[in-house]
Amino acid sequence: MPTSLYRALFADLRTDAALDVLPLQGLEYDDYIGKPGSLSATIPVPNRRMAERVRQVVEGRTAVYLERDGQICWGGIVWTLTPAMDEQGTVTVALQAATFDSYAGRRYVREDWSRTGVEDLQIVRDLWAYMQREETGGNIGVGFAPGPKGSPRTVAFRDGDETSVEEAVNQLAAIEPGFEYLVSVYRDPSTGYRVKRLHFGVPRILVGDGTVVLDHPGDVLAYSFPRDATRGGTAVRVRGGTPPNADRPAVSDEQLARDLIADGHPKLDVSSDHGAATDRATLNAIARAELAALRGPVVIPAVKIRLDRGGTPALLGTAVRLRIRDVWFAEGLDASFRVVGVKVQPPERGRAETAELYLEAL
């Protein structure tokens, strides 16, 4: 069976000027809605000429784009490089990268910065514009896709609080009804230029009008349904920042999953910090959203499928109908999910191309 062809293109992070195309071994990559994805691989260095080429890749200032059958399927920032030699004298460079949204985790709001009654999605755009100001050397070329209507919010960040842009965005996204975001990377069909765009969904990102049907026996090679009561709970309270003229942080009212408790579940507490919010109404909205997401045991199903050439790993936000019949699901499972994460293993000698899909119930 023909296999997909992968190519890794390296470019300057700030200018996007191409540096080189380098071979990768042991490649794995993933991507998620609402948090950075990662890429890991090894670059073989058989001679001095290859060593000179690899030295052009500088951690923290180099972008890497992964092409699959000529289409960009992943893009991000090279964060770590580890040159190493084994006992046989073979030299390699281990590479770790993360999607472009990881940049927001390395940038902090280092001035008094506020917005009053502004839509939350516009606040996120403003935070990214602040982060990418050209005069500070922060522009990495991420633009903004047209988005849905958001909800008006009031936020304030103080110089010295060292709030990362990633943390600020996640705090906004946590307030009901909430929103989701991701940075998509593709090649503009009319210009051929590489494009990076910040996309939003309110309250969720859902891609396409159809549903992908996955069956076991059939398309599904393996599955797992981890049920984790250590991450979930039945009682949520969140803590915010300290209001003016107050001596302690503001806190929300406790939000209870009364139906689960009445059904016999014990009271299990969940708490989190949201320093940008200081009023109780906002904190209560955050607590209600967290309770909706974390009530009871947290279950994030995963299924492993084989990718055929001509298929696509670009499944984030896609609706999936999962049908399983085996010894565990003896009566048969037929349920709808949304893909919130994708982890891909490209084909190598003796290994088919596969994708692990992380699912959320619809």
- In the chain, the percentage of residues whose pLDDT exceeds 90 is 84
CATH code linked to domain 207-226+300-361: 2.30.300.10
What's at 310, amino acid-wise?
G
Over 80: is that where the pLDDT of 3 sits? no
Question: What's the token pair of residue 331?
Answer: 């009566």
Q: Which long-range contacts (CB under 8 A, 24 or more apart) does 18-25 make?
A: 19/56, 19/57, 19/62, 20/53, 20/56, 20/57, 22/53, 22/54, 22/57, 24/95, 25/92, 25/348
CATH code linked to domain 107-201: 3.55.50
pLDDT (mean) for 273-299: 89
pLDDT (mean) for 297-322: 88
- The full set of domain ranges for the chain reads 6-100, 107-201, 207-226+300-361, 232-296
* pLDDT tens, residue by residue, 10-48: 999 999 999 999 999 999 999 999 999 999 999 999 999
* pLDDT tens, residue by residue, 209-247: 889 999 999 999 999 999 999 889 999 999 998 888 889
CATH code linked to domain 6-100: 2.30.300.10
pLDDT at 278: 86
User: What is residue 278's three-state secondary structure?
Assistant: coil
Provide DSSP, 280-324: HHHHHHHHHHHHHHHBEEEE--EEEEEPPBTB-S--TTEEEEEEE
Over 70: is that where the pLDDT of 108 sits? yes
Over 70: is that where the pLDDT of 2 sits? no
Over 90: is that where the pLDDT of 147 sits? no
pLDDT at 156: 87
pLDDT at 140: 98
* pLDDT tens, residue by residue, 279-289: 899 999 999 99
* pLDDT tens, residue by residue, 337-351: 999 999 999 988 878
The reply to whether 107-201 shares the fold of 6-100 is no
